[in-house]
Amino acid sequence: MSLKNALAPFGIWARALARPYTIPVEDIMRAPADRYRGWHTNDAEACIGCGSCSDICQNAAIDMVVNRDATKGDTGLRPMVDYGRCCWCALCVDVCPSGSLGLSSEYTWVDKDPEVFRYVPGVDKKPWDDDTKGWHGGEWDLINHDRVPMSMLPGETRGQTWAEVVLGYSEEEAQREAARCLECGICTAACPAHMHIPEYIGAIRDGNYEQAVNLIYETNPMPEMCGKVCTRRCEDVCAHAKQGEPVAIRWLKRFATERFDDLREVIKADVAPIGVGKRVAVIGGGPSGITVAYYLAIRGFEVNLYEALPTLGGATFFGIPKYRFPMPSLEKQVDMLRGAGVKLHVNSPVDAALFEELRSTHDAVFIGAGLMRGKAMRVEGEDAPGVVNALTFLLEHHLRNNTDSDKVSKEPVVLPGMKVAVVGGGNTAIDAARVSLRLGASEVVISYRRRKEDMPADWEEIEDAEHENIQIDVQAIPLRIEQTPDGRLDLIWGPAEMVADKPGARPKPVLVEGVENHLVVDRIIGAIGQGPNLRWLSPEAQGTIADKWGWIKVNEDGMTGMPGVFAGGDLVNETADAISAIADGLRVVQGIPRWLGLQ
């Protein structure tokens, strides 16, 4: 043992005079680090009540508690945190799709009452509610908000073919996309038919496609149509849409139904035959009529369906072009009606006399006659030859191409090489433009009064049109149409200025006076909306069930002012899309048995 080593420990005596090594308490009472994970905060207005936070918490520290009414896009629930269990991992924050949840950097809170350590962040006010420090969403997300991309025909060439543009997901893609679902069910509120969305998405994810289509058929007898063209309000409110891309609910439904060439053996209904011996007449073979017919038929009703056109489908047949919703898809769904025993009477327009007969021979009548009248543009020169209404244009086109109807001329309105202008900004305008392109038009221009973001058409449809080189002129108000000396048409339009309207309403386009622009084309297609046409009914009947413009009012069972006469679809609702028509149909499926006292 050397002396040096023996004395070594005494070396630290040098520290006797140094500043103490321990830390004064003031030094410790520093602010927490910027990302310190302390008590929760929540922006209760931004929170959508999806419950993802509650699901991810492995300590079961979070309850979803009722805080407000459920609305489309908000379950009205808010998370309540039990700090007897929370371990401040912030997984709840990292999965919060709205980005509303956070952990403040505050962590000291002393109270004698243990019960206070359980509160609804953002609702029960706390001093740290506005703390921007701590652990908040946005900086980095555990949840990937990117959708599995959909393959499509290339934009440059697909204008030359009627083939379906969207190619559909492969099985692997569908399962991957389905796996993105957070299963909160918020989407079901926004779906007019309140389809069982998270359930069927879960079944697709697990590869249980039969179960998926059965879940889909619970509320939708035309799912392949909806899977291809639905307005998908569900996707607008999907939790993922808060910070990224919603789950491709529509494409997943499409995937599930396309798995089966014939659904008749797959769909297994199990309902009481309450309608045996009862007869129902359905007027109109659009989505609303098909819904009423199918679900009543499987309940034992004898259903007679009358359709004026040679084919069922309504506007989904004669309006929606085949590159979006092909005929085989539609036929598959009509087959389901046949399988259910619905008696289909096509080429059978109902008139006033037949209507009265149906009323007397059936226990109930449903009117789902849709909007069969294209609205006029109301500009000077509109009746010039070469100016057509989009609805007529599409109807004739589809009858010519997809039926053996002899009621339409063999020659299309739009011929190869023509330049076409379409006036309007809805789905019908886009469809008319893209159909024109496929008929060989050399150039197609859509002319719309407002801005692009105001277009009622589906944003994906707008994009698709643009990829096909369709030009979109916005803030263009049509003034009049003139014929040029060489037999063409001059669409004269003035620029619009956007002026703020009432709060909550879209800004209004106001004409900038004194400027006139010319768009010289061969054809002009007016696509500014559709309206009801009930002139096939007697004036008395019209007066009983409809207002003076032809819109039908119904009660909560879907029944009109005429007992035993029910209605639904575009004629009734304001949303005028296929799924709303189906939802109307479902209301009547409950309404008719109730009215007949069958429950």
Partner 1 sequence: MNEFVQEIQARFEVLWSNPQRPDLMQIGVRQVNALPLLTWLKSNTGYFILNHFSAVDWIEDGEFQLTYLLTDYAARRSLMVCVRIDRAAPTAESVHHLWPEAVTYEQEMFEMFGISFPGSPRQGVDLLLEGWEDIPPMRRDFDTAAFAEEAFGFRPGRTHTNPRDRVAIAFGQKGFLHDH
Partner 2 sequence: MTIENPHVEKETQLWVGPQHPGVTGNMAIQVWLTGDTIQRGITHVGYLHRGFEKLMERRKFIQSFPIVCRICVPEPDTNEYLLAASIEELGGITIPEKAVWLRTLVLEMSRLASLVQQIGGGAGATGLGAVPNWTYTLRDYILDSFEELTGGRVYHMYMVYGGVRRDLPVGFAERMEATLRKIEERLPYIDKVTFQSSVWRERTQGVGLTDPAWVKEMGISGPAIRAMGFARDVRRDFPYLAYPELDFSVITSTGGDIYARMEIRRHEVVESIKIIRQVLQKMPKDGPVAAPIPNVFTWRIPTGQTYVRAEASRGEMGYYTVTDGSDKVRRVHVRGASYVHGFAMAERMFEGLNIADLHPTLVSIPTCPPEMER
Ligand X SMILES: Cc1cc2nc3c(=O)[nH]c(=O)nc-3n(C[C@H](O)[C@H](O)[C@H](O)COP(=O)(O)OP(=O)(O)OC[C@H]3O[C@@H](n4cnc5c(N)ncnc54)[C@H](O)[C@@H]3O)c2cc1C
Residues lying near ligand X in the complex (CB under 6 A) are found at 229-231, 283-289, 306-309, 314-316, 319-320, 349-350, 368-372, 394, 427-428, 431, 536, 569-570, 576-579, 581
Longest dimension (CA), the chain: 126
> Residue 54 or residue 447: which is nearer to partner 2 going by CB?
54
Decide which of partner 2, partner 1, ligand X, none touches 66; Cβ closer than 5 to 8 Å per partner kind: partner 1
The residues with which 520 forms a beta bridge, in sequence order, are: 490
Q: Restricting to residues 112-151, name those near partner 1 by CB under 8 A.
A: 115, 118
Q: Which of 43, 55, 82, 210 binds partner 2 (CB under 8 A)?
A: 55
Tokens of 201: 């998405």
Q: Which stretch binds partner 2 (CB under 8 A): 49-57, 121-129, 285-293, 477-485?
A: 49-57
- We find the least distance from the C-beta atom of residue 87 to ligand SF4, in angstroms, to be 4
> CA quadruple 224, 225, 226, 229: dihedral positive or negative?
positive
Q: Is there a contact between 388 and 526 (Cβ–Cβ < 8 Å)?
A: yes
Q: Which stretch binds ligand SF4 (CB under 6 A): 90-98, 173-181, 282-290, 430-438?
A: 90-98
> Residue 152 or residue 511: which is nearer to ligand X going by CB?
152
- We find the least distance from the C-beta atom of residue 125 to partner 2, in angstroms, to be 24
Report the C-alpha gap between 339 and 192 in whole angstroms: 26
3-class state of residue 382 by DSSP: coil
Strands 77-82 and 118-119: antiparallel
Q: Which of 53, 215, 369, 395 binds ligand SF4 (CB under 6 A)?
A: 53
CB neighbourhood size of 61 (10 A): 22
Tokens of 194: 């309140």
> Residue 554 or residue 581: which is nearer to ligand X going by CB?
581
Q: Write out the DSSP string of 490-545.
A: EEEEEEEEEE--STTSPPEEEE-TT--EEEEESEEEE-S-EE---TTS-HHHHHHH
Tokens of 230: 């639905």
Q: Is there a contact between 249 and 196 (Cβ–Cβ < 8 Å)?
A: no
Q: Which of 217, 255, 306, 393 binds partner 1 (CB under 8 A)?
A: 217
Report the C-alpha gap between 224 and 332 in whole angstroms: 9
What does the per-residue mask of binding to partner 1 show for 52-91, with x meaning CB under 8 A? --x-----x--xxxx--xx----xxx----x-x-------
Q: With binding defined as CB under 6 A, does residue 89 bind ligand SF4?
A: yes
Decide which of ligand SF4, partner 2, partner 1, none touches 45; Cβ closer than 5 to 8 Å per partner kind: none
Q: Which of 39, 41, 86, 102 binds ligand SF4 (CB under 6 A)?
A: 86
Q: With binding defined as CB under 8 A, does residue 562 bind partner 1?
A: no
Q: With binding defined as CB under 8 A, does residue 90 bind partner 2?
A: yes
Q: With binding defined as CB under 8 A, does residue 36 bind partner 2?
A: yes
The values of phi and psi at residue 63, to 5°, are -105, 145
Nearest to 294 by CA among 306, 282, 277: 282
What does the per-residue mask of binding to partner 1 show for 429-468, with x meaning CB under 8 A? ----------------------------------------
Question: What's the burial of 567, exposed, middle or buried (CB within 10 Å: 0-12/13-18/19+)?
Answer: buried
What does the per-residue mask of binding to partner 2 show for 186-205, with x meaning CB under 8 A? ----------------x--x
Q: Contacts with ligand SF4: how many residues (CB under 6 A)? A: 27
Reduced 3-state DSSP string for 106-166: CCCCCCCCHHHCEECCCCCCCCCCCCCCCEECCCCCCCCCCCCCCCECCHHHHCCCCCCCE
> Residue 5 or residue 108: which is nearer to partner 2 going by CB?
5
Report the C-alpha gap between 275 and 280 in whole angstroms: 9
Q: With binding defined as CB under 6 A, does residue 81 bind ligand SF4?
A: yes
Q: Using alpha carbons only, give the angle 291, 192, 545 rounded to the nearest 5 degrees.
A: 65
- We find the least distance from the C-beta atom of residue 185 to partner 2, in angstroms, to be 13
Q: Which stretch binds partner 1 (CB under 8 A): 104-112, 190-198, 362-370, 423-431?
A: 190-198
- We find the least distance from the C-beta atom of residue 271 to ligand X, in angstroms, to be 22
CB neighbourhood size of 564 (10 A): 16
Q: With binding defined as CB under 8 A, does residue 267 bind partner 1?
A: yes
Q: Contacts with partner 1: how many residues (CB under 8 A)? A: 42
Q: Write out the DSSP string of 279-334.
A: EEEEE--SHHHHHHHHHHHTTT-EEEEE-SSSSS-THHHHTS-TTTS-HHHHHHHH
Q: Is there a contact between 54 and 113 (Cβ–Cβ < 8 Å)?
A: no
Q: Which stretch binds partner 2 (CB under 8 A): 48-56, 388-396, 472-480, 534-542?
A: 48-56
Strands 373-374 and 530-531: antiparallel
Q: With binding defined as CB under 6 A, does residue 509 bind ligand SF4?
A: no
> Residue 74 or residue 396: which is nearer to partner 1 going by CB?
74
Q: With binding defined as CB under 8 A, does residue 5 bind partner 2?
A: yes
Contact set with partner 2 (CB under 8 A): 1-2, 5-6, 8-9, 11-12, 15, 21-23, 32-37, 52, 55-56, 58-59, 87-91, 94-95, 103, 134-135, 139-140, 142-144, 146, 176, 179-183, 202, 205
Contact set with partner 1 (CB under 8 A): 49-51, 54, 60, 63-66, 69-70, 75-77, 82, 84, 115, 118, 183-186, 188-189, 194, 196, 198, 214, 217-219, 267-272, 295, 298, 586, 589-590
